[in-house]
Homo-oligomer: A and B are copies of this chain.
Amino acid sequence: MDGSKNFNVIHNAFSDLDDKESLGIKGKFFAGQELNLTGCEVSINRLPAGTSFPFVHAHKMNEELYVIISGKGIFCVDNENFPIQEGSLIRVAPAGERIIKAEEELFYLCIQAENNSLMQSSINDGFIIESNSQK
């Protein structure tokens, strides 16, 4: 990690995921520490077909955003089930009791950020330095 620059990069974060393990869960990789993330945490996850995340869980302060990149499965929040697949985006409030189940192997991201922490975004937070037409 190079703290002197305005960026950090992980190359090939999707590779060798089956060799990684976090919280005792195989195929799960938290990237926040290596990236020096300070506003959110992100995990990359591969869940084999026919399996579930090992527990139903909730959060104290953090909202979660799940992004399903590939595969098919069932998501459950507060005992309500719904199907998920490539392109499904799921927000879960801290109190939501959640679990994800894979019917076909699921590849997904999970992003945690503190509930109600985002003050502004998009054009209210970003500003243009230089437009391409000037380059």
A residues adjacent to B (C-beta < 8 A): 5-15, 22-23, 30-32, 35-42, 52-63, 65, 67, 69, 75, 77-78, 80, 82, 84-93, 95-98, 109, 111-123, 125-132
Contacts and interface: CB of A to CB of B under 8 A. Distances in A.
Given A58-B127, A59-B126, A114 B67 contact: no
How many monomers of this chain does the complex have?
2
A102 to B, nearest CB: 13
A129 B13 contact: no
Contacts of A89: 9-10, 13, 31, 35, 42
Contacts of A95: 6
B123 A38 contact: no
Given A7-B92, A52-B132, 17 more contacts: A9-B90, A12-B88, A35-B90, A37-B65, A37-B118, A38-B116, A39-B117, A40-B118, A41-B118, A42-B65, A54-B132, A59-B127, A60-B125, A62-B118, A62-B121, A112-B122, A113-B118
A81 B10 CA distance: 14
A111 B32 CA distance: 13
A-B residue pairs, 10 tightest by C-beta: A39-B113, A6-B96, A14-B87, A41-B121, A40-B113, A6-B93, A35-B91, A117-B117, A39-B63, A56-B129
